[in-house]
Chains A and B, each alone.
Chain A
Amino acid sequence: AQSVTQPDIHITVSEGASLELRCNYSYGATPYLFWYVQSPGQGLQLLLKYFSGDTLVQGIKGFEAEFKRSQSSFNLRKPSVHWSDAAEYFCAVDLKAAGNKLTFGGGTRVLVKP
């Protein structure tokens, strides 16, 4: 069965430092890939998505992600973290099958130290 793994449950980073969140998926073909952010008490907001083409995608809030087919990974990065980036981040895949089912990873909670 397909799955999405986010190996890091929690990450603590200092404000101004770089951030990288890992995401791996298991599926034979290349799915559609997404990163969502959930701020405390809020719904999910789409940060960026990858469907095809350039494997480095830019998103909102200064985030980017790189798709690596050989590693079945779609890691999220930000060069300089702001305190407002403290949130939970979810990687999700859409297998392009009928039903548009998003399969989510377990999430990574990011804490930002002053």
Chain B
Amino acid sequence: EAQVTQNPRYLITVTGKKLTVTCSQNMNHEYMSWYRQDPGLGLRQIYYSMNVEVTDKGDVPEGYKVSRKEKRNFPLILESPSPNQTSLYFCASSLKVTYEQYFGPGTRLTVT
């Protein structure tokens, strides 16, 4: 089944404790992206990657890192999480830049 998977689905952590949210797609998509969803703000792009080893900032990149060492994986790293990063995070992928994006199920992160 073609899909985008994220892990973990739920995470509660404390301020400053490094964490990684994994994202993997099995559709051989070139393009991958991370979004955060906050009430009333819709989804905002954090980082995106147009291919292996090619990443760039989205609208709200502060406090986040990403890497794209393999085509299928695009982990999101929070090296020192803060409470304002409490949010619902979505990974998405698409075959090419202008194609429709497929979204993962989301990761709900709480930072206390």
By a beta-carbon cutoff of 8 Å, the part of chain A in contact with chain B is 4, 6, 9, 32, 34, 36, 42-46, 49, 51, 90, 92, 94, 96, 98-107
Tell me the bound Cα distance from A4 to B43 in angstroms.
11
Q: Is the CB of B97 within 8 A of A102?
A: no
Given A99-B48, A100-B94, A100-B98; 16 other pairs, CB 8 A cutoff: A9-B40, A34-B100, A43-B103, A46-B100, A46-B102, A51-B98, A94-B98, A98-B50, A99-B50, A99-B56, A100-B50, A100-B97, A101-B48, A102-B33, A102-B43, A103-B45
CB distance from B108 to the nearest CB of A (A): 9
Q: Is the CB of B90 within 8 A of A107?
A: no
Q: Is the CB of B44 within 8 A of A104?
A: yes
| CB closest residue in chain B, given A90 | B42
Tell me the bound Cα distance from A104 to B106 in angstroms.
16
The A-contacting residues of B in range 72-91, CB under 8 angstroms, are: 90
Total contacting residues, chain B, CB less than 8 A = 28
Tell me the bound Cα distance from A102 to B98 in angstroms.
10
Find chain B residues with CB under 8 A from A107 CB.
Answer: 40, 42
With contact pairs A43-B106, A99-B50, A99-B56 given, residues A104 and B42 touching in the complex (Cβ less than 8 Å): yes
Q: Is the CB of B97 within 8 A of A98?
A: yes
Q: How would residues 23 to 53 of chain B score, 1 for a CB under 8 Å from any chain A CB and 0 otherwise?
A: 0000000010101000011111100101000
CB distance from A26 to the nearest CB of B (A): 15
Q: Does B13 contact A (CB under 8 A)?
A: no
Tell me the bound Cα distance from A92 to B44 in angstroms.
11
